[in-house]
Amino acid sequence: MISIVSSRNNIFLLILVIGVGISLSILSYHYSGLTADQIGEIASSDIRSNAIIETDGLSKTLLHIIDPVSTNLEILSKIVNYSNIDGTKLIMDEVQNSTKSLTEGYYWINEDGRIVSISNVNSSIIDSYSNIDLSNREYFVIPKETHASYYSSAIESIDKIPRLYISFPVMEQSDGEPVFKGVIVASIKIHELGRFLQSELAPQVAGNVGLMDKNGIIIYGSNPSLIGKYYLGEEFQSLVPEEIRGPYNSLLARSLQGSAGAEDLILDGGNKTTITYQPVYIGGKYLWTLFVSSPHQLAAEVGFLINNQKNFSTLMILIIGAVALGIAFLILSWNKRLESAVNSRTIELKDANNSLIKYNKLLESANEKLSIHDKMQKEFINIAAHELRTPIMPILGDAIFLEKQFEDGKEEVKVDKEQVSSIIRNAKRLKRLASDILDITKIESQSLKLNKERFNIRDIILSSISDIKTQLLSSNPEQLENLDIIYEPQDIFVFADKNRITQVIFNLLGNSVKFTEKGSINIEVKIERDVVKNIENVIISISDTGQGIDPDILPRLFTKFTSKSFEGTGLGLFISKSIINSHNGKIWATNDPNGGATFYFKIPQQ
Amino acid sequence: MTSEVEINNPNKNKMARIMVVDDEKDILRVIKRDLEITNEFQVEVFSSGHDALSSFKNHELGYYDVIITDIRMPRMNGFELYRNIKEMRPDTKIAFITAFEINRDEFTKVLPSIDVKDFIIKPIDMNDLIFKIKSMLAI
């Protein structure tokens, strides 16, 4: 019972531990997920702000490298001297050397569009170019017409190399009027510019640089084939992934409005890329837009790492949970063992207690026996008192009556027979009682001695019948007439205490007579062989046709003070039983179905 | 003294009728003889409760002045006889005689419902018995 209850508690505890473990895992997983998203977001915004700063810095760098070229061109445009071509060329060479990391060369073109000189190129090569007419080129036409500098888009020459051209007009004052005298052009290889910008980009950004002019023509990009192409053109659009085409195009459109910005594009698969754009103003004019695309590789990596961490944490929690579970299980099973030890101790205690209870019960029953014994003792005294006092009264009464008559001075007084008989009858009754009480005392002190001798059962039965009849004749002659005592005499010898066996037979016969007002009493003697003990037993039975034994009394028939008669002491059958037991015999009684009772006793013949 | 008063009392001049019940015939004989010898009592004896009860029923009320009964008797014992008589005539004067070893306290304990004025332990001293019967009659 205890173990069932406790195991229920244990199961509850286990479920609690498992439940707490699972909810902790879920919470931690969820929290880790949130953290991963938050950290990813922080990383993304960091990347965005970094990209903005980077792009701003890059645009300044761009201006910074373009600026010397512009300055050189401006100076050259002012100092070129058609009368000193060689001298001017020396300056041009110097200028080229100062910007050679970016510029391919500086060209001097006259007002007819013919090359006058090229930096760092010898005169024979210059001569071979001199017949090329460049008067239709934008870098010639626009400065000629606007008298202002010109910054081209990406232009592909015959050698398929895209170039950027910057040109300044050469103006001469003639009569106060500026007169166009040709242009100074610097050519910049876009690849070089791109490579430069790319190299200037902080490696942490891990992005790509792009440059587009204000009209949406791509000046530089990571894909060289797109240089010089319009962003809404087929070549470009075909390379833009379809899922981001709309947002990408609108982003680019916004970027061409001359202001800076940074926007995220989410690619298929969830990867983010931040596109930062920054307008580039040269000489106060909006010319290009610089792009830096920064894939959120880091953020993704952070997310990935956190995810890993999350998985690891979850795994750890699961492992810790499992270990905790194991420990809990161990503790519980240990507890259970302890409990079972306690239980077994409890059972031992219970056993001890039970045996105590048993001893108590034994004591109680002993006490009960004692109190029964007390009660019996009291009953014995009571009955003994009654039986002793009752016969004394008539004896004393008659004796006192007679004595009183002598008081009158008489010498002789008249005594009638009834007075004498009464005195004798009652005195005998006292004698009988005295003898019974003596027998009981002997039996109870276990000093009932048997004087065994060989005698004929027939003799004692006949004498008992005779005594009973004599007794009845004086006390109840009417009953004697109505009662038939049947016995067929038969010589059977037995080795026993003659007086005691006679006492038993007389007692049993007396009982039968007492309860058989009329009818018959049948005495039988048989010999029976006890095969087990290998002895002969004598069985004597006395059956009557009387009222039978009261069923209430039957179980305690042979105990002390059991009597349905109001004359007896209730000691006769107890004494008889004790006598027969002393002979190693047995005494018992049965009620006959047709009425009446039979008393039996058997004793060994020898 | 008491006897003189009663003898001189004309109302009580007639002999008191005493019923004695006991299953011991020798005892009945002795009691009857010793009471009647005083010439103050007329004694009727019965050897069983049944005989006594039927005689009580067969006579008019107040026929018996005092009833003295044994307790231990076959079939109807003294207590049963007492109850039967008290049911019919609660003011009947009844005394017990017994050979049992019993005192007044035990008697009251065993039979709290029975108002026992007197009970007499056998063997009876006849002078005591006469005195007790007279005191019962005087109430």
What are A287-316's pLDDT values in tens digits?
Answer: 888 888 877 766 667 667 777 777 787 788
Average pLDDT over residues A268-287: 81
Residue A104 has pLDDT above 90, yes or no: no
pLDDT value, residue B13: 56
Residue range of the domain that includes A293: 193-299
pLDDT bracket for residue A378 (50, 70, 90)? confident
Average pLDDT over residues B120-133: 84
Q: Flag the least confident range among A140-149, A184-193, A374-383, A527-536.
A: A374-383
Which of A1-10, A104-113, A362-371, A380-389 shows the highest mean pLDDT? A104-113
Name the domain boundary from A268, A283, A299: A299
pLDDT value, residue A537: 94
Average pLDDT over residues A365-393: 76
Residue A588 has pLDDT above 50, yes or no: yes
Q: How many residues comprise chain B?
A: 139
CB contact under 8 A, B30 and A425: no
pLDDT value, residue B5: 44
Task: Give the A-side interface with B, CB within 8 Å.
Answer: 381-382, 385-394, 396-398, 400-401, 418, 422, 425-426, 566
Give a yes or no: residue A315 inside a domain. Answer: no
CA-nearest residue to A564 within chain B is B74
| Helices within A408-528 (DSSP H only) | 417-444, 457-475, 477-482, 498-515
Name the domain boundary from A246, A273, A299: A299
pLDDT value, residue A454: 95
Which chain A residues have a beta carbon less than 8 Å from that of B130?
none
CA A298 to chain CA centroid, nearest Å: 44
pLDDT value, residue A137: 86
How far apart CA A478 and CA A480 sit, in angstroms, is 5
pLDDT value, residue A567: 58
CB contact under 8 A, A393 and B100: no
Give a yes or no: residue A221 inside a domain. Answer: yes
Residue A262, domain CATH:
3.30.450.20
Residue A362 burial (CB count, 10 A): 10
Which chain A residues have a beta carbon less than 8 Å from that of B123?
389, 392-393, 396-397
Average pLDDT over residues A188-207: 78
pLDDT bracket for residue B20 (50, 70, 90)? very high
Average pLDDT over residues A401-410: 83
pLDDT value, residue B3: 45
| Prior bond of A604 cis (ω within 30°) | no
How far apart CA A275 and CA A292 sit, in angstroms, is 6
Give the mutation candidate from B28, B30, B75 for the A interface (greatest A CB count, under 10 A).
B30
pLDDT value, residue A496: 94
Which chain A residues have a beta carbon less than 8 Å from that of B34?
397, 401
The partner residue sitting opposite B101, judged by closest CB among A381, A390, A392, is: A381
- Decide which of A532 and A202 is more confident: A532
What are B37-47's pLDDT values in tens digits?
Answer: 989 999 999 99
Give a yes or no: residue A109 inside a domain. Answer: no
Domains and CATH numbers, chain B: 2-138 (3.40.50.2300)
Question: How many separate domains does chain A show?
Answer: 2
Give a yes or no: residue A30 inside a domain. Answer: no
How far apart CA A226 and CA A252 sit, in angstroms, is 15
Q: Give the pair of three-digit tokens for residue B107.
A: 């008697």
Average pLDDT over residues A536-551: 91
Phi, psi dihedral angles at B18 (to 5 degrees): -110, 130
Name the domain boundary from A299, A315, A332: A299
Give a yes or no: residue A506 inside a domain. Answer: yes
pLDDT value, residue B114: 61
pLDDT value, residue B116: 57
Give a yes or no: residue A586 inside a domain. Answer: yes
How far apart CA A3 and CA A7 sit, in angstroms, is 6
Which of A141-145, A255-259, A348-352 shows the highest mean pLDDT? A141-145
pLDDT value, residue A563: 62
How far apart CA A530 and CA A539 sit, in angstroms, is 12
CB contact under 8 A, B24 and A386: no
Residue A597, domain CATH:
3.30.565.10
Residue A206 has pLDDT above 70, yes or no: no
Residue A456 has pLDDT above 80, yes or no: yes
Average pLDDT over residues A420-444: 84
Average pLDDT over residues A251-262: 85
Which of A78-92, A479-493, B100-114 shows the highest mean pLDDT? A479-493
Average pLDDT over residues A544-557: 84
Residue A32 burial (CB count, 10 A): 18
How far apart CA A7 and CA A205 sit, in angstroms, is 62
CA-nearest residue to B99 within chain A is A386
Give a yes or no: residue A458 inside a domain. Answer: yes
pLDDT value, residue A169: 92
How far apart CA A596 and CA A557 sit, in angstroms, is 15
pLDDT value, residue A202: 72
CA-nearest residue to A418 within chain B is B26
Nearest CA distance, B60 vs chain A (angstrom) = 32
- Residue in A328, A99, A269 with CA at minimum distance from that of residue A193: A99
List all residues 6 or more positions away from B25 whose beta carbon is below 8 Å from its beta carbon.
Answer: B47
How far apart CA A578 and CA A165 sit, in angstroms, is 153
Give a yes or no: residue A37 inside a domain. Answer: no
Name the residue type at position A328: A
Q: How many CA atoms lie within 13 A of A545 on its CB side?
A: 11
What are B33-90's pLDDT values in tens digits?
Answer: 999 998 999 999 999 999 999 999 999 888 999 999 988 887 888 888 988 898 888 8
Average pLDDT over residues A392-415: 85
Nearest CA distance, B123 vs chain A (angstrom) = 5
Name the residue type at position B72: R
Nearest CA distance, A408 vs chain B (angstrom) = 15
pLDDT bracket for residue A587 (50, 70, 90)? very high
CB contact under 8 A, B30 and A398: yes
Average pLDDT over residues A210-228: 83
pLDDT bracket for residue A1 (50, 70, 90)? very low
Q: Check residue A514 and report its DSSP letter.
A: H
Name the residue type at position A72: N
DSSP notation for A37-80: HHHHHHHHHHHHHHHHHHHHHHHHHHHHHHHHHHHHHHHHHHH-
Nearest CA distance, B61 vs chain A (angstrom) = 31
Residue A573 has pLDDT above 80, yes or no: yes
Q: Give the pair of three-digit tokens for residue B128.
A: 């005591």
The chain-wide mean pLDDT, for chain B, equals: 81
- Residue in A77, A113, A69 with CA at minimum distance from that of residue A95: A69
C-beta of residue A540 within 8 angstroms of C-beta of residue A589: no
Nearest CA distance, A568 vs chain B (angstrom) = 12
Q: Give the pair of three-digit tokens for residue B49.
A: 């409760």
Q: Give the pair of three-digit tokens for residue A79.
A: 């100092």
Residue A501 has pLDDT above 80, yes or no: yes
Q: Flag the least confident range among A181-195, A352-366, A527-541.
A: A352-366
A161-172 per-residue burial string, b: 16 or more CB within 10 A, e: under 16: ebbbbbbbbbbe
CA-nearest residue to A386 within chain B is B99
pLDDT bracket for residue A7 (50, 70, 90)? low
Nearest CA distance, A391 vs chain B (angstrom) = 8
How far apart CA A8 and CA B89 sit, in angstroms, is 76
Q: How far is CA A164 from CA A91, A103, A552, in A?
A: 22, 9, 141
Residue B134 has pLDDT above 70, yes or no: yes
Task: Give the B-side interface with A, CB within 8 Å.
Answer: 23-24, 26-27, 29-31, 33-34, 72-74, 98-102, 121-124, 126
Q: How far is CA A503 from CA A431, A464, A473, A538, in A?
A: 14, 9, 20, 16
pLDDT value, residue A3: 46
- Decide which of A64 and A17 is more confident: A64
CA-nearest residue to A396 within chain B is B123
Q: Flag the least confident range among A121-135, A295-309, A382-396.
A: A295-309
CA-nearest residue to A421 within chain B is B26
How far apart CA B12 and CA A146 sit, in angstroms, is 182
- Whole-model pTM: value is 0.44
pLDDT bracket for residue B110 (50, 70, 90)? low
How far separated are the first and last CA of chain B, in Å rounded? Answer: 16
- Decide which of A292 and A506 is more confident: A506
pLDDT bracket for residue A261 (50, 70, 90)? confident
Which chain A residues have a beta carbon less than 8 Å from that of B68?
none
What are A157-187's pLDDT values in tens digits?
Answer: 777 788 888 999 998 888 888 888 899 999 8
Percent of chain A with pLDDT over 90: 17
pLDDT value, residue B99: 79
What are A476-493's pLDDT values in tens digits?
Answer: 888 888 999 999 999 999
Which chain B residues have a beta carbon less than 8 Å from that of A394?
24, 26-27, 29-30
Which chain A residues have a beta carbon less than 8 Å from that of B98?
386
CB contact under 8 A, B99 and A397: no
List all residues 6 or more positions away from A401 whose beta carbon is below 8 Å from its beta carbon.
Answer: A419, B30, B33, B34
